[in-house]
């Protein structure tokens, strides 16, 4: 059996640090205060930033198309490198925007009552990716004047960017306001723990799944969800007899 590693603890916020130092015990007043508090972080700047980046991505898409059509020519490099450069910039802008959007949704999630709306809202980055590449691909493929080699390279480059961006932009770990409220109802201001690269949070820092983790971040369940750890470790849930909270499979 592997030996347990000595852990370093990092507070998600100063409030969490103080709560852990004073061994704060959740009670009805604390739980109510946590539920009524403003979300951890501010989602508005993140969403504005995401939209601005997606608009910028559209600009890069237009520039890539204009290079393909020969209406834009940067004299210091050939056409194909120009084309690929604008497509890569398009890809980067959409992906970063999608990360901003996903972060905002974990801070301020939406209801899952309407599953279609829930999916669309959580995957606006994927929709933006489609808008920023599909028109380019269609216009390139339907252009009858460009030479075959340029069309092939432009299409393949755009499709590769679309696939990479689609995987990076899709939210594989969405959270709903109902899931967040359920977790906060059960755990209140109790301290939870998560690892640097993990996808779940734990109610026990001695959980067997954390044996090989050197650094643990701790905070409230709201802070864990904002950090994209939206589900409780199933081992911890079984250990505490917790139900009604989203757990990992």
Q: What is the pLDDT of residues 192-216, one digit of tens each?
A: 899 988 889 999 988 888 888 888 8
Between 16-20, 54-58, 89-93, 150-154, the lowest mean confidence (pLDDT) is in 16-20
pLDDT band of residue 4 (cuts 50, 70, 90) is low
As a whole number, mean pLDDT of residues 164-168 equals: 95
Q: What is the pLDDT of residues 63-122, one digit of tens each?
A: 999 999 989 888 788 889 999 999 999 999 999 999 999 999 988 999 999 999 999 999
Between 39-43, 213-217, 227-231, the lowest mean confidence (pLDDT) is in 39-43
Cα distance between residue 188 and residue 242, in whole Å: 13
Backbone angles phi, psi at 13, to 5 degrees: -160, 170
Concatenating the DSSP letter of every residue in 146-208 gives: S-HHHHHHHHHHHHHHHHHHHHHHS-SS---HHHHHHHHHHHTT--EEEESS-SEEBS-TT-G
Mark out the alpha helices in 37-131 (DSSP H runs): 43-69, 79-107, 115-122, 124-131
The length of the chain, given as a count of residues: 249
Residue 44 neighbours by CB under 8 Å, 6+ apart: 104
Unique residue bearing structure tokens 């802070």: 223
Cα distance between residue 207 and residue 233, in whole Å: 9
Unique residue bearing structure tokens 């755990």: 187
As a whole number, mean pLDDT of residues 11-23 equals: 63
As a whole number, mean pLDDT of residues 45-51 equals: 97
As a whole number, mean pLDDT of residues 9-21 equals: 68
What's the pLDDT at 64? 96
Which is more confident, 136 or 214? Answer: 136
Using CA atoms, how far residue 132 sits from 129, 158, 172, 174, 240, in Å, is 5, 10, 21, 23, 47
Using CA atoms, how far residue 150 sits from 56, 65, 67, 70, in Å, is 24, 12, 11, 11
Instruction: Please tell me whether residue 105 adopts helix, strand or coil conformation.
Output: helix
What's the pLDDT at 37? 46
Using CA atoms, how far residue 182 sits from 33, 37, 81, 242, in Å, is 15, 15, 51, 11
Decide if pLDDT at 35 tops 50. no
Using CA atoms, how far residue 163 sits from 52, 93, 143, 145, in Å, is 22, 15, 22, 27
Decide if pLDDT at 159 tops 60. yes
Average pLDDT, the chain: 86
As a whole number, mean pLDDT of residues 122-133 equals: 96
**Percent of the chain, pLDDT > 90?**
47
pLDDT band of residue 50 (cuts 50, 70, 90) is very high
Cα distance between residue 147 and residue 90, in whole Å: 23
Between 100-114, 153-167, 233-247, the lowest mean confidence (pLDDT) is in 233-247
**Percent of the chain, pLDDT > 70?**
87
């Amino acid at each position: 059996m592997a030996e347990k590693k000595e852990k370093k603890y990092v507070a998600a916020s100063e409030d969490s640090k103080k709560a852990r130092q004073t061994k704060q015990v959740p009670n009805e007043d604390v739980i109510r205060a946590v539920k009524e508090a403003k979300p951890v972080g501010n989602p508005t700047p993140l969403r504005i930033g995401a939209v601005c980046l997606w608009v910028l991505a559209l600009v890069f898409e237009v520039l890539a198309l204009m290079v393909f059509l020969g209406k834009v020519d940067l004299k210091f490099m050939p056409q194909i490198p120009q084309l690929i450069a604008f497509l890569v910039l398009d890809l980067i802008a959409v992906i970063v925007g999608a990360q901003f959007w996903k972060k905002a949704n974990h801070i301020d999630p939406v209801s899952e009552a309407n599953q279609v709306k829930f999916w669309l809202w959580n995957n606006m980055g994927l929709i933006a990716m489609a808008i920023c590449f599909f028109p380019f691909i269609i216009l390139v493929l339907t252009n009858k004047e460009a030479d075959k080699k340029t069309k092939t390279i432009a299409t393949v480059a755009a499709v590769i960017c679309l696939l990479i961006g689609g995987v990076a932009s899709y939210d594989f770990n969405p959270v709903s306001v109902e899931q967040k409220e359920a977790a906060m109802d059960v755990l209140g201001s109790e301290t939870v723990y998560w690892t640097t690269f993990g996808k779940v949070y734990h109610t026990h820092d001695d959980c067997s799944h954390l044996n090989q983790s050197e650094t643990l971040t701790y905070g409230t369940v709201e802070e864990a969800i904002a950090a994209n750890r939206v589900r409780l470790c199933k081992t911890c849930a079984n250990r505490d007899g917790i139900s009604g909270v989203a757990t990992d499979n």
